[in-house]
Structure 1
Amino acid sequence: MAVISDDDKIICRCEEVSLSTIKDIVHHFHCSSREVKLRTRAGMGYCGGRICRTIIEKVVQDINNEKVSNESQLSYRPPIRPVTFGQLGGSWNDDES
């Protein structure tokens, strides 16, 4: 059985971002959790960060030895997609009256 190291573990399942990727970005750019999100797309997948948000913030906090400030925290995004009024009204074609 293969052993997976901690750094190879996936933190953001939606965007497949590993712990080592997040650590590398934070060490290289000394950035906040919001910047990690923008640089790696971690927290920007289908779940909108509901699964990985707190883990990302904790990793960044541990590496930077700083408390996460309220102004740079990651926000939650609902998993929604834009739809047309025709789709909402039940028509198959947007050109239908």
Structure 2
Amino acid sequence: MSERTFVCRCEDVTVSELEHAFAAGLTTIEEVKRYTGFGTGPCQGKECMAALARELVRRGLATPAALRPFTARPPAEPVSFGALAAAPDPYVDPLPSRLHADPLGDADPLADAQEPPST
């Protein structure tokens, strides 16, 4: 395989990227997944995990008995624009309203500011 060969087509992970992961000392499927994004695409590793396992064993980085699949997590669920629009706005403005620019330009935002004491 050339270093440009894709081993995870969903996430465009190449042999070269796997070699970097191995050089960094990563020796488990979970570690390589977290480092490269390997197996996190639409197939969730069904198409590529065997290639990674084979490469770990071939390089002597793991034994077949020690190989464990990465942690399965439920895929994200789609959210409609309507649900997003109906959700409350979690943003809390940290500035007091008097410090915001007045769109009409007729209010002085510092009108109630106090002068520093004279020395």
With normalisation by structure 2, the TM-score equals 0.56
Q: Deviations over 1:41-97 (max 9, x none)?
A: 000111111110110111112223431325x3235667x44146xx7xxxx9456xx
Partner of 1:54: 50
The CA distance in 2 between the partners of 1:44 and 1:37, in whole Å, is: 7
The CA distance in 2 between the partners of 1:48 and 1:77, in whole Å, is: 9
The CA distance in 2 between the partners of 1:58 and 1:76, in whole Å, is: 20
User: Aligned to 1:11, which of 3, 7, 10?
Assistant: 7
3-state DSSP of counterpart to 2:24: helix
> Which one has more relative contact order, counting CA pairs under 8 Å at least 6 apart?
1
* Amino-acid identity (%): 20
Is 2:16 aligned against 1:20?
A: yes
Which ranges in structure 1 are unaligned for 5 or more consecutive residues?
A: none
Q: Which has the higher helix share?
A: 1
State the shift of 1:8 in Å.
1.2
Please identify, of 37-46 and 58-67, the stretch whose mean Cα deviation from structure 2 is larger.
58-67
- Structure number with greater Rg is 2
With normalisation by structure 1, the TM-score equals 0.66
Partner of 1:38: 34
Question: What letter corresponds to residue 22 of structure 2 in structure 1?
Answer: V
Question: What letter corresponds to residue 77 of structure 2 in structure 1?
Answer: P
Partner of 2:95: none
Is the CA contact 1:48–1:77 (under 8 Å) kept in the aligned structure 2? no
- Output the aligned Cα RMSD: 2.5
Instruction: Tell me how many residue pairs correspond in the alignment.
Output: 83
